[in-house]
Structure 1
Amino acid sequence: MTSGSPRDQVERGARRGEAFAHAHEAGVKRVGRAGVAAEGVVYLLIAWLAAQVALGSGGGSADSSGALAQVAAKPFGVVLLVVLALGFLAMLAWQVVAVITADKTSHRVSAVAKAVVAAALAVSCLRFVSGGGSSNGQQQQTLTQRVLEAPGGAVLVVVVGLVIVGIGVGTVVRGFKRSFEDKVEGTLSPALTGLGVAGWVARGVAFAVLGALVVVSATGDTGKSRGLDAAFREIAAQPFGTVLLLLVALGLAAYGVFQLLTARRRARA
């Protein structure tokens, strides 16, 4: 029979959970690397969709939902979606363990963010498997509209947009500083390093533009908050936008290839 106060019981449970996480960290990491590869596949598809937007032939949504829709439309698409979902669930488990075992606050925060993304992607995959897939952009626009209708909603939307801009700028900086190298066990070849730099910079640019559009949506133009698809179309609308967006698409493709080629050697996601 368990004794002690409820607080003591919670503390004992937390210690047991931490001990379990440390004991199984290596095994969970090995399985979780499948999620890195799955992310690489999704980014390759997003890059393809972004290139189609740049060339004026993109009819679908150029974001993760559009990428998964592309998978669903292929022969054996359901099987592929299930495999991707399993990969993202494995990454989710890895990041939960990383949150518990991380020795740096920055690593813990990053693991929490990646766990949320992995869970969202896994759910999206399963929705497409069940035939209930939908556009992330439309969902984000609806959410933004609801937030704007709440007291102080416009301020909150601006804050969220600025945070996303900050994440984008930070990602660009990490790309140029090659901070991604500590995610991979062993050394990287010059080719892989080049892919990493291009990938992180392109992702940073895309998210910075996305954040700026979220800020603009605080004025009531919620169509600007439709996710990466809106960001890509905004880039394409600028002078030399086709060239700029094609460069971003190539960078995102580089990120996808980097994830695929380094998945089995990842120390962190």
Structure 2
Amino acid sequence: MSGQVQHHARRGEQFARAHEDGLRRVGRAGVAAEGVVYLLVAWLAAQVALGGSGGSADSSGALAQIASKPFGTVLLVVLAVGFLALLAWQVVTVVTADKTSHRVKAVVKAVVAAALAVSCVKFATGSGTSSGAQQQSLTQRVLEAPGGAVLVVVAGLVVVGVGVALVVQGVRKHFEEKVSGSLSPALTALGVAGWVARGVAFGVLGALVVVSATGDTGKSRGLDAAFHEIAAQPFGVVLLLLVALGLAAYAVFTLATARRRVRA
């Protein structure tokens, strides 16, 4: 039995390596789709800062915005296909990557791509819901379980760690490794701003998840809650507008480099 498993594993790896280049080219459509979503999230974050947001300032809010527009359903289907292509690329990367860190990042990207593809389909069919509300409900269920508060705190600290890592990657320009060829000074500046802004947003999000362990699950409503928390601080409107600009910079960087990506 173990011999058969090893044989199938080798066959799977051979298949993945043989099709890696093709799936990478197709998967770049998913990178561009991510850029579109982030551009809309940046716009929604700016609306929160200016006091005019009527929807959820996160990926679900961005998809809801698309769904409400003419031809929105068609665009959502296109985005879903792009995210599925990105998912396939990341699954292959898990098999072929030569570094454990790259495999872990590919797994995370694959999960996010799958979730976004499903969300696109749901909004295209009229059954989409706020991801923030879903996260709040999940946090509440975890808190009700034995040791749930500890799990929520750990999850929040992990998200804070991701935020710190994104800031470090942006400052050290690690994103340059994702793109073949050199980057112009303008694209490099967009990359730095984008990664730092995402790091700030995720850092605040993680801190709010930790706070929600006290029972205030409204604090765990995803990026939307993080943006509102930033806006509520002294000089928060200015800071949130800077974060929104940074997220827009990330979106432009992603769209501009999608066709040259060697890593998602």
Structure-2 separation of matches of 1:167 and 1:49: 22
For 1:226, give the aligned amino acid: R
Aligned pair 1:71/2:66, yes or no?
A: yes
Q: 1:214 aligns with which of 206, 209, 216?
A: 209
**Normalised by the size of structure 1, how large is the TM-score?**
0.98
Alignment of 1:55-204 (within 5 A): 55-204=50-199
Q: Name the SS of the counterpart of 1:24 in structure 2.
A: helix
**Normalised by the size of structure 2, how large is the TM-score?**
1.00
Shift of 1:247: 0.1
Q: Percent of pairs identical after alignment?
A: 80
Question: Which residue of 2 is the match for residue 30 of structure 1?
Answer: 25
Instruction: Describe the superposition over 1:120-172 as per-residue Cα deviations: whole angstroms up to 9, x where unpaired.
Output: 00000000111100000000000000000000000000000000000000000
Shift of 1:36: 0.4
Question: Which residue of 2 is the match for residue 3 of structure 1?
Answer: none
For 1:216, give the aligned amino acid: V
Structure-2 separation of matches of 1:78 and 1:130: 8
For 1:23, give the aligned amino acid: A
Shift of 1:231: 0.1
Aligned residues between the structures? 264
Shift of 1:100: 0.3
Question: Which residue of 2 is the match for residue 47 of structure 1?
Answer: 42
For 1:210, give the aligned amino acid: L
Structure-2 separation of matches of 1:196 and 1:88: 21
Structure-1 separation of matches of 2:123 and 2:224: 19
Shift of 1:256: 0.3
Q: Name the SS of the counterpart of 1:186 in structure 2.
A: coil
Shift of 1:102: 0.2
Instruction: Describe the superposition over 1:99-133 as per-residue Cα deviations: whole angstroms up to 9, x where unpaired.
Output: 00000001000000000000000000000111100
Instruction: Describe the superposition over 1:48-96 as per-residue Cα deviations: whole angstroms up to 9, x where unpaired.
Output: 0000000000010000000000000010000000000000000000000
For 1:127, give the aligned amino acid: K
Structure-2 separation of matches of 1:58 and 1:71: 15
Moved over 3 A (4+): none
Structure-2 separation of matches of 1:129 and 1:48: 21
Aligned pair 1:233/2:193, yes or no?
A: no
RMSD: 0.3
